[in-house]
Amino acid sequence: MKLTDLSNLSTKRLQALQKSGIYTVDGLLLLFPRRYIDKSNVLPISMARENSGTVTVIGKVVSKQVIGFKQKKRLEVIVRDSSGSLKAVFFKGWRYFITQFSEGNWVALYGSIKRYGNYFNMAHPEVDNISSPEDVKKFEDLIPIYPSNQHFSKAYISNPILKSWIVQILSQKNIKEFLPQSVLSRHKFPERQKAFHIIHQPASQKDAELALERFKYEEFLLFELSMASIKKLRIEKSSGNVMKPGKLTTAFFNKVLPFTLTDGQKVALSDIRSDLESGYQMNRLIQGDVGAGKTVVAIGAMLMAVDNGMQAALMAPTEILAEQHHQTIKQYIEPLSLNFRLLTGGQKTALRRDILTDIEGGNCNIVVGTHAIFQEKVRFNRLGLAVIDEQHRFGVKQRNDVLTKGDNPHLLVMSATPIPRSLAMSIYSDLDISIIKGLPSGRKPIRTAVRTEKDRQNVYAFLEQSVKNGDQAYVVFPLIEESEVMDLKDATMGFEKLKQRFPEFSIALLHGRMKSEEKDAIMKRFVDGDTQILVSTTVIEVGVDVPNASIMIIEHAERFGLSQLHQLRGRIGRGGKQSYCILMPDVKLTKSGRIRLKKMVDTNDGFEIAETDLKLRGPGDFLGTKQSGLPEFRFADIVEDRLLLEQSKNDAWNIIKKDPELELPKHKELKEVFEPYFKERSEFFGVG
């Protein structure tokens, strides 16, 4: 069956469907109702009172007329039953709706009622033409309401039209089942054909919810099958370089490192060592809260590679973070006399050429940089380990691109932002996961408080006393310069005001528009203690480590996401002092803003904070950008449907484990659906 076989399908309507991304009858079937209305609640017009909710009334059309001029034109239809009259009003699409009414005919109207003047009005009700009031007994209890858009409106594709098309398709189309019978039975899902009928013609809300759950499960299962297949392919083709700790690794942990590893770090390193010694390619994600010590774990892994005659590379998403990693790692491994280079896109040609020669010749043991280190022109002599930091800013394809460098290098990815379990299961299903729990000894929990503008002088008095006692402080602003669009305190103006308020202190300004050399110089003065108060934008969100900084004031704190606030707060509390984070919101706090700030006060647990942030903002905003590698699901939500996600993952991995190629007869239909799904998304998955 084709779209052109549908009744009442004009050229204009066909074009509207295509502009909306619907090219086949299957696409139309997947246009699920956004809600259902209950037409069983039928009342006499006299009983249908204002604010009584949505109701159905039955009446005879007494009159219809178009009144008003130009954009203010509207259709008014008077209907009457034995108890009274009601006016139905249509503002948009009145040319279409006027054809739905004929004087003397009976109609059923469904909507919300309000009283204006002498009439009860119902604006844009659902309309059904009936032969008599007795026809109401034939009404379905639930009527599907389909999504609409500007293309549908212009082509007069109404809800009844969509419903009639889908009923026509369901009456003629045979829909194949592809989920294994064991899955259907275990989850009590309806078969696919029946599920489509239920979604579009439900007998009850409960039936509709179960049918929708089946389609959500489909999406999750196909994605998880893809991730399981990717991991299986990697294991099969991997002859991973076997690596064991040597002199460098031993010297680093026993002589160079100035502190003892936490239990969480030891567990993560044990996982990594097990992977590197297994003979299979490592694909591991290291998660840990702010300050948990992920960088030290990464250094240990890279030194294992160098111990075995291999090169190691660390990729960060921005030049700022790459430069900060370079400085941090350099101070740790300098005593080991290794050739350690920084490679970014903004370097001068001569320097870049020298670094590339070092990398290709094998003289460079470890290279840190942005995505530039995995571009085609960069040739490694013998890359054994690739480390990706801030993994949530890269997708599956970027991870796989890294693996094309060298001879099946091991892969270690790290997330400085705690990722809720539901999200990690979705976008990192092809990775093994290690979580670094706990913080280094001596760290005290940061005390967080919310203070308003009326408390500012008290906050400044506290800041003044703390700095006089030898502490250093951050004051963070959301913008660099004054914005005419958003009334936010900006860093530049705040910097000037703080200099006037505290003339006796050394205060500096740091923001992302500065040149690298300038930023480095400012940060160095702050690290050395020459600068007492650093006014900054979110450029200090990750990577900066100043143990003496124990005070942070965040202006317009309500404008930041929860995870971002947690990352900012993580810049303090790195030493042994008691640290304080003061959140200064605007006076007009939204409900969401109050929830975020309360959560910051209540807990220092990054995973708990991330879970709340994900619920508040959704996965897209939580990750910040679509290039993050988050899969797009049409019906499923990885937060709301996390239990279903976990079930689908377990099912997918069991299927691949028992039938890797989906060759069994019971998986024949599943294979027919899965193979084109996987092929279509091969670029996303970084294969093919």
Per residue in 281-302, pLDDT tens?
888 989 887 777 888 999 999 9
Strand partners, 473: 533, 551
Tell me how long the chain is: 688
Q: How far apart are CA 577 and CA 567, in angstroms?
A: 19
Per-chain mean pLDDT for the chain: 85
User: Does some domain include residue 73?
Assistant: yes
Question: Given the DSSP bridges, would you call strands 549-555 and 432-436 parallel, antiparallel or unpaired?
Answer: unpaired
- pLDDT > 80? residue 138: no
The residue with tokens 């590339």 is 356
Q: What is the CATH number of the domain that holds 67?
A: 2.40.50.140
User: Could you tell me which of 505, 315, 528, 279 has the C-alpha nearest to residue 401?
Assistant: 315
Same domain, 541 and 424: no
User: Could you tell me which of 271, 276, 264, 284 has the C-alpha nearest to residue 303?
Assistant: 276
CA atoms in the 13 A half-sphere facing the CB of 373:
32
Same domain, 580 and 452: yes
User: Does some domain include residue 633?
Assistant: no
Q: What is the CATH number of the domain that holds 506?
A: 3.40.50.300
Q: What is the mean pLDDT of residues 538-567?
A: 82
Q: Each residue of 398-416: pLDDT tens digit?
A: 666 777 777 778 989 887 6
DSSP states of 495-508 as a string?
HHHHHHH-TTS-EE
Same domain, 193 and 98: no
- CA distances in angstroms from 273 to 284, 406, 638, listed in the order given: 11, 20, 32
Q: How far apart are CA 591 and CA 585, in angstroms?
A: 13
- With beta carbons less than 8 A apart as the criterion, state whether 59 and 135 touch: no
What is the domain range of residue 204? 174-222+641-688
User: Does some domain include residue 613?
Assistant: no
Same domain, 519 and 651: no
Same domain, 560 and 686: no
Give the pLDDT score at 625: 39
Same domain, 395 and 518: no
User: Does some domain include residue 237?
Assistant: no
- pLDDT > 50? residue 145: yes
Same domain, 508 and 556: yes
**Most trustworthy range by pLDDT among 179-183, 333-337, 539-543:** 179-183
Same domain, 593 and 675: no
Same domain, 189 and 276: no
The burial class, CB within 10 Å (0-12 / 13-18 / 19+), for 392 is: buried
Q: Each residue of 450-489: pLDDT tens digit?
A: 999 999 999 999 999 999 999 999 999 987 665 555 556 6
Give the pLDDT score at 627: 40
Q: Indicate left, alpha or beta for 198 from its phi (over 0: left) and psi (-120 to 50: alpha).
A: alpha
CA 579, chain centre distance (Å): 31
User: Does some domain include residue 147?
Assistant: no
pTM value surpassing 0.75: no
User: Could you tell me which of 598, 601, 587 has the C-alpha nearest to residue 453?
Assistant: 587
Q: Of all helices (H) and strands (E), which one includes residue 460?
A: helix 456-468
Same domain, 596 and 669: no
Q: What is the mean pLDDT of residues 75-95?
A: 89
Same domain, 506 and 426: no
User: Does some domain include residue 381?
Assistant: yes
Q: What is the mean pLDDT of residues 554-563?
A: 88
Structure tokens, 607 = 């995973």
**Of 231-245, 505-519, 613-627, minimum mean pLDDT range:** 613-627
Strands (E), 334-431: 340-343, 366-369, 383-388, 410-415
User: Does some domain include residue 619?
Assistant: no
Q: For the chain, how many structural domains are there in total?
A: 5
- pLDDT > 70? residue 673: yes
User: Does some domain include residue 568?
Assistant: yes
Give the pLDDT score at 142: 80
Strands (E), 12-141: 35-38, 54-67, 74-81, 84-90, 106-116, 119-123, 126-130
Same domain, 98 and 185: no
